[in-house]
Structure 1
Amino acid sequence: MEQKLIDQLNEWHEVDEHQRIIDSLSQIPDEERDYESISLLARAYNNLGLYKEALYQFDKISEAGKEDSLWHYRVGFALYHLKRYEEAAQAFNRSDQLEPGVKSTEYFLRMSTHKAKKQKKEELRLAKKQANFERGGSAAKKSPFSDMFLTDFWDDSGYARTSYQSEPPTDELIDSIEKELCYKLPSSYIHLMKHQNGGVPKNTYFPTQEPTSWAEDHIAITGIMGIGREKSYSLGGDLGSPFMIEEWGYPDIGVVICDCPSAGHDVVMLDYRACGKAGEPEVVHVDQEDDYEITFLADNFEEFIKGLVSEEQYDTSEEDKEEALDKVAHGKFSPLLEELCSPVTEVEQVEQKIRSICTRIVEEKGHFSFHADELSYVMYDVQFWLYTKSYPDTSRDQYAAAYQNIIAFGGEFGQGGYGPSFITDWLDHRIEEGRIVKNHGIIRFTNAFAKEVINKLNEG
């Protein structure tokens, strides 16, 4: 393939014009495409989320790609997003063997290995349960929640009444909602909703055997959706189950019944995969921030409700806050953050200014994490300014890959993880504002906004 075309394709790649790459390379007859053209074509399919087509293209050059670490990485990337985690782990492992020390490869290898183990465990559990149903077994009949339990279950608040709570559902409404959802709702859920149709329980935490994006050993819910369409947080409401599945991309395995404090980035669902649409569903946690990873919670809805516990059971907030404050005050910067701070002359004692802003974040939140709040945006800005100051020819993809090594996975002065969508949302927001500009695939702050960031850093 001619170098001029390669340069053009890479330029389109840097500005996210992946369809143009596909259109251009598709004009070349199949028999005339070489290894590089097929690699770039498959990469474009990957970047558009067309992972099956990407794998089809990669397969054409599998023999030539055996010793190419990038080929294995890109194959692994497609397999990972197709949730073929065991195969993805094998691909990333081979890529790491061929080119050790690549941070993105190490990250995906670690994640694929973890997800492959969890996926296998989940498949075995579902198969066992499905076999039980096929043999004629079923969950034992549950007695209704006791009046004493229900009397002390709900938290009466203006927010709950406004956002969740509706009049008790009629049989006609229940039938209508079930037909809309295409699932039979559990009798225990209907019983609870006839007592109070949606709301916020007093106990909002549920223990887990595995870590999630929320915590190592539990999840939290904000409220329980009622049966109806009137309230935003009801099954058929504008933020209800169909909306979360159709608009947010949650898996079509059942019914979203609880929202979580992440404002849409994780939910609790009734899972009908093992029992069928008219059976007794399990309850699972689904994590959008972790590629919609599913974590088993309870065998049925009643078990889930009775398993909810008070947040006080997990309240280590004071200890966590003190630990986080010590981390941001004294934790050693990552090698990359040290490198980025070293040449800075526009801000005196830039390291201390960064620590000062992060201390304010911990004081406000009680933990060290960046989300979509004002101070988090300041730190997104600071990291981007530092990185592009040292690496001025940075593309969007390059920065997205480098970001995790600045603070997110920064060791002592680090957060141990991050939500990639928060970074891309921040990037898109700054681009829409005109504060980040693109030129031939290179992204940077405008001079005016760079001065604003410097001023905020100087203020600490």
Structure 2
Amino acid sequence: MVSHLARAMNNLERYEDALQQLLTIAKQGERDPLWHFRAGYSYYYLKQYEESVREFEIADQLDPEDEHTLMMLDRSRRGAKRNHKKPSVQRSGNGLGQVPFEDFDFSHFWEDGDYALQAYTAKPPTDELIAAVEQELGYKLPASYITMMKLHNGGIPHNVCFPTEEMTSWAEDHIAITGIMGIGRDKAYSLCGEFGSRFMIEEWGYPDIGVVICDCPSAGHDVVMLDYRKCGRQGEPEVIHVDQEAGYDITFLAESFEAFIQGLVNEDVYDTSEEDKQYALQIVASGLFSPLLAELCANVTEIEDMEGRIRTVCTRIVADKGYFAFHSDELSTLMYDVQFWLYTKSYPHTSEEQYLVAYERMIAFGGGFSTNGYAPAFITDWLGDRMRQGMIVEIDGILRFTDRTIEELHQQLKRIAS
């Protein structure tokens, strides 16, 4: 019964609890391959790979050639191998008497622009606020983190990249952060703020194993967390990257917050902007249109070579930005107009809700010719602006451009050499 309970806890990602249950029946489980498998499973997801290798090897001896055991044994051995490759980092802010960041120079660490000061940076936290935030989060914050926040409470650092030995959804060899959350509630990107740690765990589904301390450029699809699985809620946490795009996959970054901060490097180290730009230019020049966008362009008789004109506009966007994306600039707005006209020309009985669903299938997540993502707020803001300007009208729930807007758009497109 205890072994079954531990299995259930493993399935609920309560690996520490599962291991504690299993250790209470360790004597009875000595010759039981399931006991060793379940213990190995707990150790593996606690990233204690040496221990998981040991347990899976015993499970394999007791029940040879079990495919699940062999699969987990292989994963554990690879995890242990990765750990052996990691350089050891000396903790200084571990709460054991050393002075956090004793020799670290913060004079050029922060980029205090308007956005950083508005969204991240607050006044230094009081001891009372720190205690209240810790109670709300359910975790004791590292001494090095508190020390740093008392000097500068959250913000955007100058160095925003951290090297990794594993590929993530961001890059093959590093992750990037947007900012570091401060201690407080007032700023949107503070630990207990509007987009803080509890929001990311409760609304985005990140594992409840610690505290989210950094957001990333993916706008929610990956984060950096303090990981308390090994140390408990009062201990010194490791720092991890959690990748929602890969099923909340966890990548070890550093054994302490201080080591994480000291390991940040400038994005220039990974600058591939020219290669990215050339790749984006190839996409807009020859990438296949999505089936929907190709269908919409084929229905156009008013404008010659509609596909070529779209490629020309998007080439200019890449030339300006260095990558293929639509924001709120003039050329992006033109592309929002073009997509809306194309879609409502072919599907004239389109509501706002229907259009926002269809938008993804044109260029945002289209074929080879695709931005591979978009920020919905840009689309809803554009739509709201066009309605306030009287360029888009809504009649009985159906949206359409006015005749005058369509004529002006036609003239604008005809001036574009395809």
Does the alignment reach a TM-score above 0.5?
yes
What is the CA-CA distance between 1:446 and the residue it aligns to? 3.7
> Which SS does the other structure have where 2:324 is aligned?
coil
Q: Which residues of structure 2 form unaligned runs of 5+?
A: 1-11, 13-40, 52-87, 94-99
2:97 matched residue in structure 1:
none
* 1:305 equivalent in alignment to 2:261: yes
Q: Calculate the aligned-residue CA RMSD, in Å.
A: 4.4
| Conserved? CA contact 2:182–2:189, under 8 Å | yes
Taking the TM superposition and a 5 Å limit, the aligned residue runs for 1:1-12 are: none
Q: Quick one: percent identity of the two aligned structures?
A: 54
Match of 2:277 in 1: 321
> Is the 2:290–2:369 Cα contact (8 Å) retained in structure 1?
yes
Give TM-score, length-normalised by structure 1. Answer: 0.57
Match of 1:188 in 2: 144
Q: How far, CA to CA, are the matches of 1:364 and 1:297 in structure 2? A: 36
* Contact 1:130–1:274, Cα closer than 8 Å, also in 2: no
Aligned with 1:149 (options 90, 104, 119): 104
The alpha-carbon distance between structure 1 residues 401 and 371, as it changes in their structure 2 partners (threshold 3 A), is: same
Rounded Cα–Cα distance in structure 2 between residues aligned with 1:184 and 1:370: 41
Q: 1:323 to 1:179 in 2, by over 3 A?
A: same
What do the CA deviations read for 1:125-168 (whole angstroms, capped 9, x no partner)?
43445998xxxxxx998323544433466135354556544554
Residue pairs, 1:68-217, within 5 angstroms: 125-129=44-48, 142-144=91-93, 145-151=100-106, 154-155=109-110, 157-159=112-114, 160=116, 164-208=120-164, 209-212=166-169, 214-215=170-171, 217=173
Q: Counterpart of 1:445?
A: 400
Determine if contact 2:101/2:144 at 8 Å carries over to the other structure: no
Is residue 290–residue 366 contact of structure 2 (8 Å, CA) maintained in 1?
A: yes
Inter-partner Cα distance in structure 2 for 1:455 and 1:297: 55
Q: Give the length in aligned residue pairs.
A: 330
Does the C-alpha gap of structure 1 residues 226 and 339 become closer, same or farther in structure 2, counting only changes over 3 Å? closer
Aligned to 1:96: none
What is aligned with 1:11? none
| 2-structure distance, mates of 1:429, 1:287 | 33
What is the rounded CA distance, in whole Å, between the counterparts of 2:148 and 2:142 in structure 1?
Answer: 10
TM-score, L = length of structure 2: 0.62
Contact 1:154 1:199 in 2 (8 A): no
Q: Give 1:357 shift.
A: 1.9
Mean CA deviation greater in 247-256 or 275-284: 247-256
Q: Deviations over 1:287-319 (max 9, x none)?
A: 67x598454342542343233221011111122
Query: Partners in 2 of 1:200 and 1:430 — Cα distance?
Result: 31
- The secondary structure found in structure 1 opposite 2:129 is helix
Partner of 1:228: 184
User: Any idea what SS the aligned residue of 1:256 has?
Assistant: strand
Stretches of structure 1 that go unaligned for 5 or more consecutive residues are 1-82, 84-121, 133-138
* Structure 2 CA distance for partners of 1:199 and 1:401, relative to 1, 3 Å: closer
Aligned-pair distance for 1:204?
A: 0.4
What one-letter code is carried by the residue in structure 1 that aligns with 2:138?
C
Instruction: Identify the residue that residue 7 of structure 1 maps to in structure 2.
Output: none
Over 3 Å counting, the alpha-carbon distance change for 1:456 and 1:436 in structure 2 is: farther
Which letter does structure 1 place at the counterpart of 2:137? Answer: L
Structure label with greater radius of gyration: 2
**Is the helix fraction higher in 1 or 2?**
1
Superposed CA deviations along residues 265-285 of structure 1, whole A, max 9, x for unmatched, are: 654333445654334434344
